[in-house]
Amino acid sequence: MTLETMPLGKALNAGLRRAMEDDPKVLLMGEDIGKLGGVFRITEHLQRDFGEQRVLDTPLAESGLVGTAIGLAMAGFRPVVEIQFDGFVFPAFDQITTQLAKLTNRHEGALSLPIVIRIPYGGHIGAVEHHQESPEAYFTHTPGLRVVSPSTANDAYWMIQEAIASNDPVIFLEPKSRYWPKGEVELDASAVPLHSSRVVRTGSDVTLVGHGAMVTTLLQAAALAEAEGTSCEVIDVRSLSPVDYEPILGSIRKTGRMVYAQEAPGHTSLGSEIAATVMERAFYALEAPVLRVSGYDTPFPAAKLEGAYLPDADRILEAVDRSLAY
């Protein structure tokens, strides 16, 4: 097994490179992704190595960018679109939800749209308005889209390749605060299936579930809880649509308790859906209600206030204590 330690951002770059080497139909498109290598340098050197015909710098027009990708996919290409920041995806929202998500169904399965839309999302970087949002619920609510989010460098490397190989459109949410921390990447291992949850820490008292950057916060909370005598199991959802429920349900049958944590607002969110499904499918295993910890139901605040807005280990531990108190 070949292991290499690298940041999540570099792992994405390596995964994109490998996908482009394996399939000449893979194209990258986005604002400033060529010579600059993208705002976060995820596509650094790829235009140099693959040329301007395969790594395209596009105008600042997200709707046109996604619309062009749809046309390219119809012509047999596999476009990978970069949205520069999460808040900039909304000009392309009509193209994504009205066209991209529905065209395969409209053609009764005769048309495939193998398009990946990469979206850096979430907080923890002190950015300005429109640069720190968690829009995942819009896309998980939309039939016809697959939605995934890696939390580790290894997952980033493999999941981007699997997303590109998918014949369905994939919304690929990249937790921007995790771009820089390093992790081990298994460069020649077998990929974990794209749409699968994973237990990242075992425990026996409470199940902690989340996705993206929140997985790191859950692990921090679990370590603090262990010091106080509480054993927490942590599950990384990884695939937001479809959700792989079996690891979650299996854990709850062991612990009897669950806390879901997310950066997005709690109202009608991914956490709401998973909590409802767990209540339906594992009701008799639960010793306490499923609890949720989330961002507040307000617009994402100014950078100086993000620490009060985003869930931290203390808020998660408070939910753990409430769950154990039932």
Question: Rounded to whole angstroms, how far apart are CA atoms 76 and 79?
Answer: 9
- Give the Cα separation of 127 and 257 in Å (integer): 35
**Phi and psi at residue 183, in whole multiples of 5°?**
-155, 165
Per-position DSSP letters for 215-260, written without gaps between them: HHHHHHHHHHHHHTT--EEEEE--EEES---HHHHHHHHHHS-EEE
State the pairing for strand pair 239-241/146-148.
antiparallel
Say if CB 66 and CB 29 are below 8 A apart: no
Decide: residue 228, CB within 10 A, 0-12 exposed, 13-18 middle, 19+ buried.
exposed
The number of C-alpha atoms within 13 Å of 7 and in the hemisphere containing its C-beta is 14
| Alpha helix stretches (DSSP H) within 107-166 | 136-140, 153-165
Q: How far apart are CA 307 and CA 193, in angstroms?
A: 34
124, 131, 195, 211: which is the annotated catalytic residue? 131
The residue among 299, 300, 278, 304 whose CA lies nearest residue 289 is 278
Q: Is 45 a catalytic residue?
A: no
Q: Where are the alpha helices (DSSP H) in the chain?
A: 8-22, 46-50, 62-74, 93-94, 103-106, 136-140, 153-165, 214-227, 246-255, 270-281, 306-309, 313-325
What are the residue numbers of the active site?
131
